[in-house]
């Protein structure tokens, strides 16, 4: 992971630039999928970063408050995941077994959102979409377990 100094970005959001904030920002910015605070913490440790887990949570709360990051919930686990707020938004497939997250290429709701605005006169600012199911590997293991249970 490249270490980037984000002082200009932080200054625009009235955030003081620190080594730990830069580290968390860079991990989030480089990630293609949302991450939990624990995953960010583990990546920071791998990158020889000196930050503790409680600091990661405080930094993430600050980033969300200032609009740099977005917090979403994984309902099956009642835990939060974080990602950078980007100009383009993303949607995800989430495996309920192994928690793998796959980013979808296109927004399936763009046309529907426009229709909804016209129909309701609602000024829509955005949306989030996560689809939950079993990834191919977990689906295969699940099928094996079902066959085993049927035999016994």
State the DSSP string of 125-142: -----EEEE--HHHHHHH
Mean pLDDT, range 125-152, rounded to an integer: 75
Q: What predicted TM-score, i.e. pTM, was given to this entire model?
A: 0.65
CA–centroid distance for 36 within its chain:
7
Q: Is the pLDDT of residue 72 over 50?
A: yes
Tokens of 21: 């904030």
Pick the CATH number of 88-152 from 3.30.70.100, 1.10.10.10, 3.20.20.210, 3.30.1490.190: 3.30.1490.190
Q: Is the pLDDT of residue 88 over 70?
A: no
Tell the burial category of 44 from Cβ atoms under 10 Å away from its Cβ (0-12, 13-18, 19+).
buried
- Provide the pairing of β-strand 92-95 with 130-133: parallel
Mean pLDDT, range 104-133, rounded to an integer: 83
Tell me the chain's radius of gyration from C-alpha atoms.
19
CATH level 3 topology of 1-86: Arc Repressor Mutant, subunit A (1.10.10)
Would you list the domain boundaries of the chain?
Answer: 1-86, 88-152
Q: How confident is the model at residue 152 (pLDDT cuts 50, 70, 90)?
A: very low
């Amino acid at each position: 992971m490249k270490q980037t100094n984000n002082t200009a970005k932080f200054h625009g959001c009235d955030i003081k630039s620190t080594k730990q904030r830069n580290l968390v920002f860079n991990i989030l910015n480089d990630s293609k999928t949302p991450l939990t605070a624990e995953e960010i913490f583990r990546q920071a440790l791998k990158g020889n970063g000196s930050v503790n887990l409680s600091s990661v949570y405080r930094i993430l709360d600050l980033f969300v408050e200032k609009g740099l990051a977005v917090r979403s919930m994984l309902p099956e686990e009642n835990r939060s995941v974080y990602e950078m707020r980007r100009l383009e938004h993303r949607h995800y497939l989430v495996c309920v077994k192994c928690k793998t997250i796959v980013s979808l290429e296109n927004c399936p709701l763009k046309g529907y959102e426009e229709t909804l605005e016209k129909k309701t006169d609602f000024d829509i600012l955005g949306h989030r979409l996560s689809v939950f199911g079993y990834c191919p590997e977990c689906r295969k293991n699940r099928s094996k377990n079902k066959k085993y249970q049927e035999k016994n």
